A and B are shown apart, each in its own frame.
Chain A
Amino acid sequence: MSDMNPDNQPMTPEEQKVYQARQRQRATIMGGLLFFLVILFYLITIVKIDASIQ
């Protein structure tokens, strides 16, 4: 990256590829985490409701 202009240089095709791969990876992981949290909060709610009934 040393041959790049520090002011306003666009990414090289290789860097763009890395950038997009990271975006995809982060989006996939974030989706998985959100799904996990939906399940977790659902279970917590059921447990809390169950405890309040008993």
Chain B
Amino acid sequence: MTTASTSLQNLASARDLFALTKPRVMSLVIFTALCGLLAAPGALHPVLGFTAILAISLGAGASAALNQWYEHDIDAVMQRTRSRPLPAGRMDRDTALHFGIGLSFFSVLLMGVAVNWLSAAILAFAIFFYAVVYTIWLKRNTPQNIVIGGAAGAFPPMIGWTAVTGDITVMPVLLFAIIFFWTPPHFWALALFVNSDYSKAGVPMMPVVAGRQSTRKQIFGYSLILAICAIAPFALNAAGLIYGVVAILLSIFFSALSFQVMVSQTSEPADMAAEKRLFKFSIFYLFALFAALVADRAILVV
């Protein structure tokens, strides 16, 4: 690499720094955190609510930057991630590392100073969990990477909730459990039809290690646990009828799609219609479920 190109890499563009935060993933994080915040009992001043969501978003962005700093080699191999700033050579690794660490500290301090230190502590743990436990430790070493790593993505609604209440009760734990058990069916459905890419990168995704059929059975198993967790807030009287009806209908449909995946025998990614359907629906499922929770709470308050 030339000195001149190194200088350009050292001064990454603002657009690449923004791309390092995985804005698309962040949108889901913002949404679930906001839902946790809006569904929690009590009230938070809008300025503090905005600050809490901002801190959670910055924390998610920091995790994504640290993830890409560590995974630059994997990203360079996979078609989907090849054009990211680091593998494409538009940014040097130190910039990504410094950006990620700086953003992590800032997001946690912002949450602690403006909102409360319990939320800040959970945010700090979530960043640590994603960057260290998932990215550095689990992802390359176990096919259970997605299962345990999914916990990192499950923290935002819990943090949104604790930002309002200042304590952890059954409900934020259930919100955590919903995303935790939603993650394996969501990602494994994707991993089934982008299987070859993960194998090429040497990532021990479940379909690569345990095979497609075992993965399909596990997808169905997790979808049943997800259904129990999703319906639990209604069953425990922690959420109302609107949420209950939406959760039951969505979960039945989710389980039905997962069942189709389980009985599918296809090995050609192009023919994996059931897997693609489940992957698409899983995104809608989470959005609709959390939106129903907020609608339920809003009507209860009115």
Contacts between chains A and B (CB distance < 8 A), count: 56
Per the 8 Å Cβ criterion, residues 1-51 of A in contact with B are 1, 4-12, 15, 18-19, 22-23, 25-26, 29, 40, 43-44, 47, 51
CA distance A2 to B255 in the complex (A): 55
Tell me which residues across on chain B come within 8 A of A9, comparing CB atoms.
Answer: 2-4
Q: Who on chain B is nearest to A16 by CB?
A: B4
CA distance A5 to B5 in the complex (A): 11
Shortest Cβ gap from B94 to chain A (Å): 16
Q: Who on chain A is nearest to B48 by CB?
A: A47
Asked whether, in the complex, the Cβ of A26 is within 8 Å of the Cβ of B14, the reply is: yes
Chain B interface mostly = helix
B: which residues have CB within 8 A of A? 1-5, 7-8, 11-14, 45, 47-48, 51, 54, 113-114
Asked whether, in the complex, the Cβ of A29 is within 8 Å of the Cβ of B14, the reply is: yes
- Other A-B contacts than A5-B2, A11-B7, A26-B11, 4 sampled, CB-CB below 8 A, are A10-B3, A15-B7, A23-B11, A44-B114
Asked whether, in the complex, the Cβ of B7 is within 8 Å of the Cβ of A22, the reply is: no
CA distance A19 to B7 in the complex (A): 8
Q: Who on chain B is nearest to A27 by CB?
A: B14
Choose one: A1, A18, A19, A43; the contact of B2 (CB below 8 Å).
Answer: A1
Chain A interface mostly = helix
Asked whether, in the complex, the Cβ of A40 is within 8 Å of the Cβ of B2, the reply is: no
Asked whether, in the complex, the Cβ of A47 is within 8 Å of the Cβ of B47, the reply is: yes
CA distance A18 to B28 in the complex (A): 34
Asked whether, in the complex, the Cβ of B47 is within 8 Å of the Cβ of A43, the reply is: yes
Asked whether, in the complex, the Cβ of B3 is within 8 Å of the Cβ of A7, the reply is: yes
Q: Who on chain B is nearest to A2 by CB?
A: B2
Known: A44-B47, A44-B114. A22 touches B11 (CB 8 A): yes
Asked whether, in the complex, the Cβ of A1 is within 8 Å of the Cβ of B5, the reply is: yes
